Structure 1
């Protein structure tokens, strides 16, 4: 297992992912204004996969890892997330609630991957969990408020994100694959399931009408989600997961709400409730404990 600290380059890659994914939730909301959630998923992954299949070789991996990642990260994570955003999840709170993936990843990585959790990781995640519980209690049904259905669906999306993190880590133990081909080919697998769900949930006529009336903001949203949020960000994220333990990489996603909350306020005028602000602060405090706890322990050991 690679136990080296993050290099400067890896740190910059992690921060680039944070910015892209922080803006991601606002872009999803824009896309969902004219496209159904399942159709948006189909278009996102079609744009991420189909233009590149003739130029990008299939990764040197058994196909089950590529398919498993595509279905967990594509259909699972974004199917739940798009539906949650449509059913009342605010963009800013979605960027916070999605960070429960760090809890799920750490909890699953111990039995599945055999990774050891530091005391600081456990403490940091407990603190952040308290913050997420505060956020969950502040749901409502009024305009601009987070609904309970949206919260539950977003929580389900976070769990599927954690599953995809584990698939990527397991794949790295099988072969030294390149992340970009892995993301391109894995994006192929959610397309048909998303199309089938769109036809079932919305009906063929509605799907055709949405495609015929698609607007430029929706097109730009699809391209942002496909090329930046999927191909670029997930390629960088997968590369980090290949090089470092999952418990070290995934907590960086807890910084996504900083960008997500700012973007939601700037573009949609969303302003979290006081309990949601308090919960967000605890989530970020949990990240600090998670990231700096190991360093602080090593400093104390050197002084003793």
Structure 2
């Protein structure tokens, strides 16, 4: 289920280029985040309490506002292949940050999978005549860094609230931060928007933001950070496939090789830790009689509990 989020994010480029008004990246980012966040707040009717006012603001800035702003700067100043290749370094960044902040074990095969994934994305989307813009490269690298930090902090900070509420907090905070920047840089939205424009905004808001971030944050609570981050490699893969199916873009043998490398790196990165030792997510597993698994780790409410208590409650 978590993999659906980056897979759907891979459709963002197609929808943006085909349905949205041109030259308005910050408008697209704001229309994605703010209405989706307000919708989830309306559904859950729950606001942050205590430290979670500033934590939601920090996570909203990292995961939504700053990430989307830098992502669109990179998209406008770099060819898509260069931006995607730089952004594909995110799994390596998350692996290092998770080792420092979460105590996850930094394994050699995780680093190798990260390098292989970046190489596969480069084969998939990079072109020989791609130009390098220093500001664009810095923005692409910055988007990978802030997303990696936001992912690790989201794993470290266990929210005492339902998933939909926490997702709504972050999306609303990110949208509120984006709104004044959008108005200052791009001005108000166009006076006349077509039906295609509204359809594109609705798809990005409801499907590519509200739904996908719920799935992404749900996975973040259930999976180790170093495993979930590799799923982001699906975005350029899906974008390439959609370009071939919908826009008639060609596929070369090198791109097909890159797709195989990306899928291989993603699959190998999902391998669980050796039996009996701590998993990358900080949980330890012990296998009892066949068909049973006792788990001791951090529950979603921040309270440690053993497998029997969970099973009994289930």
TM bucket normalised to smaller:
0.7 to 0.9
| Unaligned residue ranges in structure 1 (runs of 5+) | 1-12, 141-145, 299-304
Q: Rate the CA distance shift 1:247–1:151 in 2: closer, same or farther, 3 A.
A: same
Question: Which of the residues 170, 174, 191 maps onto 2:156?
Answer: 170
State the distance in 1 between where 2:252 and 2:73 align. 23
Q: For 1:269-295, what per-residue CA distance to the aligned partner results, in whole angstroms no more than 9, with x for missing partners? A: 444677666555443332233234857
| Unaligned residue ranges in structure 2 (runs of 5+) | 278-314
* Deviation for aligned residue 1:124: 1.0
Aligned with 1:58: secondary structure?
Answer: coil
State the distance in 2 between where 1:272 and 1:80 align. 28
Question: Which of the residues 80, 90, 95 maps onto 2:70?
Answer: 80
> Which residue number in structure 2 is paired with residue 25 of structure 1?
13
Aligned with 2:105: secondary structure?
Answer: coil
Question: Which of the residues 139, 145, 148 maps onto 2:132?
Answer: 148
Q: Which structure features the higher share of helix residues?
A: 1
> Which residue number in structure 1 is paired with residue 103 of structure 2?
114
Question: Which of the residues 159, 177, 200 maps onto 2:145?
Answer: 159
For residues 47-126 of structure 1, the aligned pairs below 5 Å read 47-55=35-43, 56-59=45-48, 62-90=52-80, 98-126=87-115
> Which residue number in structure 1 is paired with residue 172 of structure 2?
188
> Which residue number in structure 2 is paired with residue 224 of structure 1?
203
Q: Rate the CA distance shift 1:224–1:52 in 2: closer, same or farther, 3 A.
A: same
> Which residue number in structure 2 is paired with residue 239 of structure 1?
218
Asked whether the equivalents of residues 34 and 175 of structure 2 are also in contact (C-alpha less than 8 Å), the reply is: yes
State the distance in 1 between where 2:16 and 2:127 align. 23
* Deviation for aligned residue 1:267: 3.2
Q: Rate the CA distance shift 1:158–1:99 in 2: closer, same or farther, 3 A.
A: same
Cα RMSD (Å): 3.1
TM-score by length of 2: 0.73
Asked whether the equivalents of residues 42 and 195 of structure 1 are also in contact (C-alpha less than 8 Å), the reply is: yes
State the distance in 2 between where 1:39 and 1:83 align. 13
Q: For 1:78-127, what per-residue CA distance to the aligned partner results, in whole angstroms no more than 9, with x for missing partners? A: 1112222233433x776665433222211211111111123321221122
Greater Cα offset, 116-125 or 266-275: 266-275
* Deviation for aligned residue 1:70: 0.7
State the distance in 1 between where 2:160 and 2:266 align. 29
Aligned with 1:214: secondary structure?
Answer: coil
Asked whether the equivalents of residues 40 and 164 of structure 2 are also in contact (C-alpha less than 8 Å), the reply is: no
State the distance in 2 between where 1:186 and 1:241 align. 14
State the distance in 2 between where 1:177 and 1:288 align. 32
Asked whether the equivalents of residues 85 and 126 of structure 2 are also in contact (C-alpha less than 8 Å), the reply is: no
> Which residue number in structure 2 is paired with residue 3 of structure 1?
none
Asked whether the equivalents of residues 88 and 233 of structure 2 are also in contact (C-alpha less than 8 Å), the reply is: yes
> Which residue number in structure 1 is paired with residue 184 of structure 2?
200
User: Alignment length, in residue pairs?
Assistant: 272
Q: Rate the CA distance shift 1:183–1:41 in 2: closer, same or farther, 3 A.
A: same
State the distance in 2 between where 1:157 and 1:30 align. 24
Asked whether the equivalents of residues 22 and 260 of structure 1 are also in contact (C-alpha less than 8 Å), the reply is: yes
TM-score by length of 1: 0.76
Q: Rate the CA distance shift 1:20–1:148 in 2: closer, same or farther, 3 A.
A: same
Higher relative contact order (CA 8 A, sep 6+): 1
State the distance in 1 between where 2:233 and 2:256 align. 14
* Deviation for aligned residue 1:170: 1.6
